[in-house]
Chain A
Amino acid sequence: MLVLARHLNESIMIGDDIEIIVVSVQHDQVKLGIKAPRSVAVHRKEVFEEIQRENLLAAQARGDATAGAELLKKHLKKPEPPRS
């Protein structure tokens, strides 16, 4: 892993179109600005971890799919609430 020391408002470039800037440093929190093309996905690592956890939960859930399906079918059949 490459480790770089940067001061406030300094940045690093990844390739020629992604720039990461140190926007502020307060106690143990660093705010980073990320300039990247719309085509590049930028996500916090926690988002990946959260989806991983949810996938694991989905794989382990033991709920009754048939009961769930019946509940959803009923739910979708509910008439629209009357509009006043």
Chain B
Amino acid sequence: MDNWENAEQKRTIRTKTGRDVEITEKNIILVKDGLLGFDGLENYALIPHGGDDSPFLLLQSLDEPDLAFITIDPRLFAADYVPDLSAEDIASLGIPDIAQAVVLAIVVIPDDPRRMTANLQGPVIINVATRTGRQMISRSVNHKVRHYILGDPAAALTGNA
């Protein structure tokens, strides 16, 4: 990352989906220790994803072109979501408190996108000032690894019966 002369310097990367995207230094995030299960892969770019006005951001690995994660600000569909993190976790990013961090949830979009889920138990917390982030674990039992973004399909079925 030290080869960037200034924030305006541009570079084109190809996403996992084969799209060429122009990014600047501002798009780049260092994910400390990598995401769980993807140790050692720390360099990512965060870029808009999913068409015009899409709420999704693609966390595209800069180490592995075929590795990318769709993410979202979980407060869009869970307005009162605040991950319950230890002070040690928060301090590891150099932010005084969680309110000053960008919080992203990793999304799984299955073949039937109506059943898409977001991981509220393992959010990615980002310090925007330093562009570093880390995947952390929320201690709240209400924060599920698989939160249905459009509402629980099973609940919707029984609700209409």
Bitwise interface map of A from 41 to 53 toward B, beta carbon under 8 Å scored 1, else 0: 1010001101111
Given contacts A65-B70, A66-B51, A68-B50, contact A54 B122 (CB under 8 A): yes
Distance of B16 from chain A, by nearest CB (Å): 9
* Contact (Cβ within 8 A) A51 B150: no
* Contact (Cβ within 8 A) A59 B86: no
Chain B binding site: helix, strand, loop or mixed by DSSP? loop
A71 an interface residue at 8 Å Cβ cutoff? Answer: yes
* Contact (Cβ within 8 A) B137 A43: yes
* Contact (Cβ within 8 A) A39 B87: yes
Give the residue of A50, A57, A71 whose beta carbon is less than 8 angstroms from that of B108. Answer: A57
- Interface of B with A (CB < 8 Å)? 17, 35-38, 49-51, 53-56, 58, 67-70, 76-77, 85-89, 106-114, 116, 119, 121-122, 135, 137, 139, 145-146, 149-151
- 9 example contacts (A-B, Cβ-Cβ < 8 A) are as follows A48-B36, A55-B122, A55-B135, A61-B70, A62-B111, A63-B113, A65-B49, A65-B54, A72-B149
